[in-house]
Structure 1
């Protein structure tokens, strides 16, 4: 007998809840904000909208299905199951935060604050949740297969990201490494820089786009479902021992960027989750490319 599907509601602590936790009470939080010319009611109302959305979505789940909730800070300790339907309630970035922990489960993005979020990944409203959840498990249901980026170290550590992966020093200080491409040229260059950014078409609406706009160049931004990545070296430093000839390019599904560490410690993290980073030590090599797994975004 197969298990009934499970809806997993993913959310994050609201700004209001963080303020009350920090200051102890609503009144003290209100005083703190008023002393800085802010009204707590605006923050509290956004929190109420999020709570109402979570309640409405939970009510829309079929009675025979199972439910679970997980807060953003607990994602690395939560076990997603193959039969899960993941409903992300909040900002676009929260979809990216959860993507690395999934293996093909359908994702529904619910925007609780229309007008404040771009709505690239949280495309729907809470009132649509029931129909979207049903569509997620229906045969032939529509979903976009969004390309992800993957970094694999030579000690089998693996990192997935929906927007981008950053490789460099903690604190974004100078990183030293050898950089090359898995291609026929076989060029490998020692570099000192602020790190390397490798991003997807989904990430082309964020950090990757800002670097791309600054650099220009012949590389068009990829689309979210396109099997293509862009990579850029940030602030490469020329010296007698380090070069700047490999500072940007594209990767297809068969191509990889190869980085060998020449610092005491470098890190790799995805989608801004620096606390969940892969640590790399002197001499280790990491390869970055298009991931086999994709994010299935419903609707």
Structure 2
């Protein structure tokens, strides 16, 4: 029988990235001082992350297989179906890894309590051994977090944990025909956001406060999405009646009327769908979920 494998996902610290760029600790310190930043604070954050990773590593059973992957390598890493994924870092790092998974349990570990929101990384490094034991025994409490998916009519697809944004790549006005709930409207706007209950604690909540304060945002495990049109522009040919709502099983559809629009998830513009004039894209609930271990 093959031993279980733990994959530890983390992001290189600011100090590590600066050291790779500048070569020596002295040059890093000079660079930071020139920008009125404290080398000691940046170095302390590096040490904090390093200590958390060491504690996590010590909590992995000695008979388990293990692998480590940095955020920049995620697109090239092959996750196995039986992996247990340990994400050590900020909440956003869990969102970064989510689209590469398919039902593997995720344990979010916070290396810097008090600096992170801790929504997706609620666990202390010292809890690693106990959490892995519960996962192995099949008794871990898990949240099945809803994800959002965009599909284009040329078979491109994209999945995200928090939200998908559709807009103009240069952040100018996006022109499109929007269809939702059987209603169709031609619009010109800064783009459309479709978010999950997990995303409702971040960008979507910020937009909802201004755009639709009465809209009931979904819970993380609820099979519902929330959508918002950013800064719709009223004109003789474009309307502003469709600005926000909920998607409960149905899908939002958009037909591109700009030269190019893009769709990207969780703020990662480098991984995106490119949509040309006349193309149609739909956004709805993904059949995949993110399984986060809560206890």
Q: Secondary structure at the match of 1:98?
A: helix
Q: Secondary structure at the match of 1:48?
A: helix
Match of 1:202 in 2: 198
Bigger Cα displacement from structure 2, 8-17 vs 128-137: 128-137
Of the three residues 286, 289, 292, the one matched with 1:291 is 286
Q: Secondary structure at the match of 2:287?
A: coil
CA contact (8 A) 2:153 2:279 kept: yes
Of the three residues 207, 217, 222, the one matched with 1:221 is 217
Query: How many residue pairs end up in the alignment?
Result: 294
Match of 2:132 in 1: 133
Pairing of 1:43-58 with structure 2 (within 5 A)? 43-58=42-57
Pairing of 1:48-127 with structure 2 (within 5 A)? 48-127=47-126
Matched, 1:25 2:24: yes
Following superposition, the deviation at residue 156 of structure 1 comes to: 1.8
RMSD, matched Cα:
1.3
CA contact (8 A) 2:176 2:188 kept: yes
Match of 1:188 in 2: 184
- How many Å separate the matches in 2 of 1:198 and 1:232? 7
**TM-score normalized by structure 1?**
0.95
Following superposition, the deviation at residue 265 of structure 1 comes to: 1.4
CA contact (8 A) 2:131 2:140 kept: no
Matched, 1:257 2:252: yes
Following superposition, the deviation at residue 217 of structure 1 comes to: 4.0
Q: Deviations over 1:170-190 (max 9, x none)?
A: 132111111001x4xx32111
Following superposition, the deviation at residue 98 of structure 1 comes to: 0.5
Matched, 1:271 2:270: no
